[in-house]
Amino acid sequence: MKYNFKCLLSILFCAITQMSFAQTTSSELNNNATLDDLINYALSHKIDLKQAQLDKEIGEKEIASALSGWLPQIQATGSFAHAIQIPTVNIGGNDVKMSQKNNSALTFQAEQSILNPQLLQASRASKFIRQSNDLNLENTKINTIVDVSKAYYDILTSEEQIKIVNENITRLERQYAEANARYEVGLVDKTDFKRAQISLNNAKASLKSAIENRKYKYDYLKSILNIPTEANISLSFANQSMESNILLDTAELLHVANRVEYQQIQNLREIQKLNTQYQKWNFLPRLNAYANYGLNYRDNEFSNLYTNNIPSSNVGLSLSVPIFQGGKRIHEIRRSELQEQRLEMDLQNLESQISAQYSAAMSSYRANMNEWRNARGNMELSEEVYNTIKLQYDAGVKTYLELMTAETDLKTSQLNYLNALYAVLSSKLDIQKALGTVTSNN
């Protein structure tokens, strides 16, 4: 009983914690959130961005750690030794003991690097390491903005699709009622209202599928925003006319240098150049300045060991000159130069990839624009055809089958229009990303 009670308490605590977290998370995001609200929230909460920010802070600590070698390095060393047998030497026929039984020392040493290739390389590389971390963070922000925008427009498309299906269900219910009424008064046989029943059932099934699909899209958006799936979020689509956001200046020229990925490789190339220089600096000597101060204690009796101090101190310079290391430095220089050449090829390859990516995005955008214009025209025509056939059906000129065909054509053209519209918006975002015009400051 006690065990079960404890388990129940644990379960209740976890549930309350999750509910509290979900309410807190959703409350931080405004009700009826706009696209800008979602982007701002994602830029503050997405896990990838938090990791990129942590990587940036880690990089700063690594830089500070590397540059700390320029500061004086101070250390203290203590020792104690008890001689079991004291070494002796014979001087002038007399045995002389060379030390006393107990010896202790405390030495303080300060060392200052004056010339050190590794520290020179760390000093010059710090700027490029910071740039690398900033570019990585910026690239993550750009991908977040694009992902959130596409997810938002995808949900907006689903909402519009559900509206269309609901309108379709309303029309079908009305037509079913009319067909049933005509059948009951004997104007038509039961075929018409059964067809109406089939169409109505199919429309309701489509509505359930659309609602389930919308739920998945909301869950996907929550995953981008780092919001628990059990939390509720509400979006605002006011003043979000999808048609007003599809236009793009197709005459804008591609500048590869605007892409973050290109800047990242350029930054890596500069770091590699510094590494090559560092390998050359390895031929330089290491020069350090040092100062020592020592406290020395000696006595045969341990109780008197620390009564008398014999201090010692000195200052000086230490010079280390690497003369021959088996050709290692030459090989390291050549290896670093080859890595520079490889990064140059990476830049050329990336430039070709970006150009191809831009070309593909632009072709997709233009093709989707043509599809959208065609879908818009078909939707307008379908509405006119449906209205005309509906009037003719009411007048007894057209059959119910023709009315159902017009109804199906209308719904299909409306859904095709929405899908084409989303495809245009998605390809527009791809072009902006390819151009490098998507920034976290937008």
Residues 225-236: pLDDT tens digits? 999 888 888 888
Assign 20 a pLDDT band (cuts: 50, 70, 90).
very low
Residue 219 has pLDDT above 70, yes or no: yes
Rounded to two decimals, the pTM is: 0.78
* pLDDT score of 369: 93
Residue 251 has pLDDT above 90, yes or no: no
Strands 286-299 and 88-91: unpaired
Per CATH, domain 29-69+116-285+325-435 is 1.20.1600.10: yes
Q: 238 — phi, psi (to 5°)? A: -65, 140
User: Which CA distances in Å does 377 have to 327, 413, 414?
Assistant: 75, 9, 10
Residue 152 has pLDDT above 60, yes or no: yes
* pLDDT score of 378: 94
Burial class, 14, CB count within 10 angstroms (exposed 0-12 / middle 13-18 / buried 19+): exposed
Task: Read off the pLDDT of each residue in 371-399 and give the average, rounded to a whole number.
Answer: 90
Residue 401 has pLDDT above 90, yes or no: no
Q: 235 — phi, psi (to 5°)? A: -110, 150
Strands (E), 240-362: 286-299, 312-320
Assign 241 a pLDDT band (cuts: 50, 70, 90).
low
Sheet order of strands, 312-320 included = 73-82, 102-115, 286-299, 312-320
141 contacts 440 by C-beta, under 8 angstroms = yes
Mean pLDDT of the chain: 86
Residue 329 has pLDDT above 80, yes or no: yes
% of the chain beyond a pLDDT of 90: 58
User: Which CA distances in Å does 218 have to 204, 236, 260?
Assistant: 21, 13, 29
CA dist., res. 203 & res. 259, Å (int): 46
For the chain, helix (H) and strand (E) counts, in that order, are 8, 6
Task: Read off the pLDDT of each residue in 306-330 and give the average, rounded to a whole number.
Answer: 91
Residue 7 has pLDDT above 80, yes or no: no
pLDDT in tens, 98-121: 778 899 999 999 999 999 998 999
Residue 416 has pLDDT above 50, yes or no: yes
Task: Read off the pLDDT of each residue in 313-334 and give the average, rounded to a whole number.
Answer: 91
Q: Where are the domains positioned within the chain?
A: 29-69+116-285+325-435, 80-115+289-320
* pLDDT score of 240: 59
pLDDT in tens, 277-293: 999 998 989 999 999 99
* pLDDT score of 27: 43
CA dist., res. 287 & res. 277, Å (int): 19
